[in-house]
Amino acid sequence: MKGTICALMLAGLVLSAERAGAVVTGSIFGPGSASLPIAVTALKNQGGDQGSALGQRFAAVLSRDLDLSGYFRLVDPKTFVEDPQTSGITAADIDFVGWAAIGAQAVVKGAITVTGDSVSIEFRLFDVPGRSEVAQVGKRYSGAKGDLPRMAHKAADGILEFLTGERGPFDSMIALVSTGGSRLKDVYRFTFDMDAPTRVTDERSIVVSPRWRPDAHAILFTSYRQHVPRLFQVTLATRQVTMLVGGPAMVLDGAWSPDGSRVAVTREQGGNTDIFVTDASGQNPRRVTDHWGIDVSPAWSPDGRQIAFCSARSGGPQIYVMAADGSGIRRVSQTGSYNTSPAWSPKGDRLAWTTRAGGIFQIVVASADGSDARTITSQGSNENPSWGPDGRYLVFSSRRGGQRHIYFADRDGKTLKQLTHGPGDDTSPAWSPRL
Amino acid sequence: MSGWWKRGLVLALVLMVPLAGGCKKKGPKAVGSEAAGSGFGEEGLGNSSLERARRGLAPEEGGILGDVRFGYDSADIESDALDVLARNVDWLKQNRNAKVELEGHCDSRGTIEYNLALGAKRAKSVKDHLTGQGISGDRISTISYGEELPLCQEETEACWARNRRVHFVILGQ
């Protein structure tokens, strides 16, 4: 069976190189199959990369992305047949027979030049059985040293685009709430080259529900900094915090519409919460739900025409969808007595939410109309899913033992990896659009 | 007014001083202007569960006024809670100038935003009960902390039950 998969993969690579299209899809080659053995070598130092540190860092970040994707099996660098610092980086120079002998079907090689703070890299993907370079994938990047991880993420995203027809999601950020080990909370950010998230805000208060502005330059969040919770926005470049939606009553959460023209917010009045839509400056709130039961957690459809939300109008919390003006409310979660925190895939075709099953919480992925709902997690207690920009992967918080951390899974639940480590209790991940 | 309560007030005043200083540094975003609309000064909030957390303290359980407990995913006043509520109503009637903030809290089993909404419902249920017993609504403010400030962390029925509560914070008069 494994031989068949490899043969198909090989056919895929060779065919793709000719058609420049994606031919490898479906269940044979998908997240969780870990079917393509790939060797990722350090970038060859062509000047200035002391100790080859940056060249190795690029390979490490790229390898981690490819491993997370679930499509690949990373070939152990200890078995590599070429020294990246002395071997060539063109098809004519590569020992394809040697790479094939250690089981590699694909090889990533490249070079790096460092001048002061500037970095220039090139990377190439080679089809080992085809004994050729996959020319469409190779890229040259230049920028500051600090941009190197993003170059690796872009390389990973490009490799996935070539092999699967859908660009990868790794050149992006995840906003989250963390305690950083204290009793109080702040907004943190995480990129796929980090081990632990880094702090963005200085609230040292209760912070909930971070959400990206569509341009990924700012994060909306709810903070108790004024005692009563309000909706704020932090600009990443300056760390400046401004209030978007104020009182007098509590503001529980907020979400930018995908075009950035409106904000859906949950406001409390007289003990009850309803959803409102404001303009881009947080002004002119217009009520879109009006029910004595809890309404909370608005999530926009990617076309901005609909809003999914959580409501307890039928008793326990369930997932509903309505038009953005509040009309046409319909329940989409059909099973379970407790369904919360909907997230709409950026592709528009799927919803994810949190469900309670047997006293613990799991992540559900369903079609946008609620049909074909499947629970994709089984270990630990899992909450607050957020979709990646490719609609193929999700992140969510998971408690497996003491602290909660952010986990990563494909939408079928075949791959599952822990993303954040460190002392903090990490919750409420929000995955940014592509950068 | 009994002696121990006076001591409590003095302690609260002592605690207020560093807090007020901290707020002044932050300028107009301090609590005072926000809370003014609901008829409260910032000074009384020094013993709120959030301010205690900022000082590195665990939330207070009970106190002069007892916590009102709730069932899972419920904001209904249970018959078990009526004794505590009756004692709290008596105290509020005897201390006519006292104002309280009702903090709605939840256990950890649920999504963060939903639990914030549920905590608001719990605080409102208790407020409605108090006003139904003749306590003026002007003396009562409400806030929800959802599952953010638990009394205990264990994943046990006993701990969850303690965390599902409305806590009374007595504000300065």
Q: What is the pLDDT of residues B6-40, one digit of tens each?
A: 333 333 433 443 433 333 333 333 333 333 334 44
Distance (Å, whole) CA A75 – CA A70: 14
pLDDT over threshold 70, residue A22: no
Amino acid identity of residue A275, one-letter, is I
To the nearest whole Å, the CA of A67 is away from the closest chain B CA by: 30
Q: Which residue is listed with tokens 């139904």?
A: B132
CB contact under 8 A, A227 and B29: no
Residue A356: its chain B contacts at CB < 8 A?
109-110
Beta carbons of B144 and A268 less than 8 Å apart: yes
pLDDT at A120: 98
- pLDDT of residue A416 exceeding 50: yes
Mean pLDDT of all residues in chain B?
A: 81
Instruction: State yes or no: pLDDT of A74 exceeds 60.
Output: yes
Nearest CA in chain A to B48: A227
CA dihedral angle for residue A381, residue A386, residue A387, residue A392, rounded to 10 degrees: -10
pLDDT > 80? residue A420? yes
| Segment A46-72 mean pLDDT | 97
Give residue ranges of B with CB < 8 Å to any A CB: 29-31, 34-35, 37-38, 42, 45, 48, 50, 53-54, 56, 73, 109-114, 116-118, 120-121, 123-125, 127-128, 142-146, 148-149
Tens of pLDDT along B122-138?
A: 999 999 999 999 999 99
A285-to-A219, A245, A274, A289, A430 alpha-carbon distances in Å: 20, 9, 11, 12, 24
- Say yes or no to pLDDT of B42 above 60: no
- Mutation target among B113, B127, B130 for the A interface, most CBs of A within 10 A: B113
What pLDDT shows up at residue A76?
97
What digits encode the pLDDT tens for the residues B53-105? 999 999 999 999 999 999 999 999 999 999 999 999 999 999 999 999 999 99
Q: pLDDT tens for residues A153-196?
A: 999 999 999 999 999 999 999 999 999 878 899 999 999 999 89
pLDDT number for residue A143: 97
> Which ipTM did the prediction report?
0.91
Q: Which residues of B touch A298 (CB under 8 A)?
A: none
Percentage of residues in chain B having pLDDT higher than 90: 71
Nearest CB to B112: which of A205, A268, A428?
Answer: A428
Closest A-chain CA to B37? A248
pLDDT above 90 covers a percentage of chain A that reads 89
Model confidence pTM above 0.95: no
Say if the Cβ atoms of B50 and A341 lie within 8 Å.
Answer: no
Instruction: Compare B38 and A335 and report the one with higher pLDDT.
Output: A335
Taking the CA of residue B117 and the nearest CA in chain A, the distance in Å comes to 6
What average pLDDT does range A225-243 have in this prediction?
97
Nearest CA in chain A to B36: A248
Q: Residue B173 has what pLDDT?
A: 60
The reported pLDDT for the residue numbered A155 is 98
Q: Output the CA angle B113-B116-B122, nearest 5 degrees.
A: 145
Residues with Cβ within 8 Å of A341's Cβ and at least 6 positions away in sequence, in order, are A297, A310, A353, A354, A383, A384, A385, B111, B112, B113, B114
What does each C-alpha distance from A370 to A202, A296, A387 come to in angstroms? 39, 18, 16
Tell me if B111 and A384 make a contact (CB, 8 A cut-off). yes
Considering only CB atoms, which chain B residues are within 8 Å of A229? 116
Query: What is the arithmetic mean of pLDDT over A406-430?
Result: 95
From B143's Cα to the closest Cα of chain A, the distance in A is: 7
pLDDT of residue A311: 98
Rounded-to-integer distance, Cα A352 and Cα A364, Å:
5
Q: Which pLDDT score is estimated for B39?
A: 44
CB count in 10 Å sphere of residue A184:
17
Which of B114, B127, B143 lies at the smallest CB-CB distance from A250? Answer: B143
pLDDT tens for A273-322 read 999 999 999 999 999 999 999 999 999 999 999 999 999 999 999 999 99
Q: In this model, does residue B139 exceed pLDDT 70?
A: yes
Question: What pLDDT does B61 receive?
Answer: 96
Helix-helix angle A148-164:A53-69, to 10 degrees: 40
Q: Is it the case that residue B41 has pLDDT exceeding 70?
A: no
Question: CB distance A354–B56 less than 8 Å?
Answer: no
Q: What is the DSSP letter of B133?
A: T
User: Model confidence over A88-141: pLDDT tens digits?
Assistant: 999 999 999 999 999 999 999 999 999 999 999 999 999 999 999 999 999 999
The answer to whether A361 contacts B118, with C-beta atoms less than 8 Å apart, is no
Which pLDDT score is estimated for A402?
82
